[in-house]
Amino acid sequence: MSRSSFARRALVPTVMTGIGLIVLLGLGTWQVQRLHWKEGLIAARESRLAAPAIDLPAEGDPKALEYRRVHFSGRYLYDREMYLAARTYNGETGYQVMVPVAPAAGVPVLVDRGWIPLYRKDPASRPESYPAGTAEIDGYVRLPERPNLFTPANDPDHNMWFSIDLAAMARYAGLPAVRPYYIQAAPGPDPKALPIGIPLKVDLPNNHLQYALTWYALAVALLVTYILYMRRRRAG
């Protein structure tokens, strides 16, 4: 086969391979960038978790406060308790108990007090969960996560919640507004007391290195396939 004839036949596969390599290498590089971003995000959250507790400020950027441990006092509005369904603890299904708290000053804040089993949902079954008076609350500032496509819709009419919707929960509780975050209560001194506070951990999926290596491996495989194909065509 003449060089000119071979060059004409090789043009299309060469162009297609070049485009494929650009796309695959670009995707791999993008995943590397995402890896560095995710590692920085995890490190920032872990640093906030490890920082000393601060008094809950009356105002502040919610994103700057996220994962900070805070302390404040306030009065639980127990009669407006809400239940996040389908939450598990040690393999058992139950609820996370969300309660508005009226702090000494400022806008009320929702507090995730912790987990209860299904059969203890009725407040009458756990009177010890409702200490009277002003409470001293320690916890972590959290921002609500967006529900995914498989998350059922909330049912405020029946006080059944599957995701944290601060505006809807404020309406259910008869409050004009709540703060743009909620507090995840820290575990109490008695690990068996209901509601059970769940230790907060940074649990962000970070598979970007695996994805990057996959895209780069596909690029190498494509290049090897192209070289072998060109050798066979030239020999033929």
CB 113 within 8 A of CB 130: no
**Do residues 88 and 178 share a domain?**
yes
Share of the chain above pLDDT 70, in %: 96
Looking at the predicted structure, is the pLDDT value of residue 164 above 90?
A: yes
Amino acid at 98: M
Residue 99 is encoded by which pair of tokens? 């309660």
Q: H or E segment at 193?
A: none
Residue 171 binned pLDDT confidence (cut-offs 50, 70, 90): very high
Q: How far apart are the C-alpha atoms of 162 and 195, rounded to whole Å?
A: 18
Q: Are residues 179 and 211 in the same domain?
A: no
Q: Is residue 53 assigned to a domain?
A: no
**40 bridge partner residues:** none
Report strand pairing: 92-103 vs 69-76.
Answer: antiparallel
Could you give phi then psi for residue 109, rounded to 5 degrees? -135, 145
Does residue 61 form part of some domain? no
pLDDT higher than threshold 60 for residue 16: yes
CA dihedral 156, 159, 163, 165 (to 10 degrees): 50
pLDDT at position 2 = 55
Q: How much is the pLDDT for 58?
A: 83
Backbone angles phi, psi at 205, to 5 degrees: -65, 140
Mean pLDDT lowest among 2-16, 22-36, 55-69: 2-16
Identify any residues that bridge with 94 across adjacent strands, giving them in sequence order: 87, 117
Which of 19-23, 61-65, 173-177 shows the lowest mean pLDDT across its residues? 61-65
- Among 55-64, 110-119, 155-164, the minimum mean pLDDT is found in 55-64
User: What pLDDT score was predicted for residue 22?
Assistant: 95
Per-residue pLDDT for 109 more than 60?
yes
| 100 three-class SS | strand
Q: Is residue 148 part of a domain?
A: yes
With respect to residue 88, please indicate whether it lies within any of the assigned structural domains: yes
Q: Would strands 82-89 and 109-117 be described as parallel, antiparallel, or unpaired?
A: unpaired
Tokens 């393999």 belong to which residue? 91
Q: According to the per-residue pLDDT averaged within each range, which of 13-17, 39-43, 130-134, 216-220 is highest?
A: 216-220
Integer Cα distance of 83 and 67 in angstroms = 22
- Is residue 28's pLDDT more than 70? yes
Range among 48-62, 103-117, 189-203 with highest mean pLDDT value: 103-117
In a domain, 174, yes or no: yes
Question: Please, which pLDDT band fits residue 230 given cuts at 50, 70 and 90?
Answer: confident
Written as one letter, the residue type at 63 is: K
Angstrom CA distances, 62 to 58, 67, 82, 136, 201, stand at 11, 10, 22, 21, 18
57 within domain boundaries: no
Q: What is the mean pLDDT of the chain?
A: 90
The length of the chain, given as a count of residues: 236
- Per the structure, the count of domains in the chain is 2
* Residue 52 located in a structural domain: no
DSSP 8-state symbol, 36: H
pLDDT, position 49: 85
| Whether residue 73 is found in the same domain as residue 166 | yes
Percent of the chain having pLDDT more than 90? 64
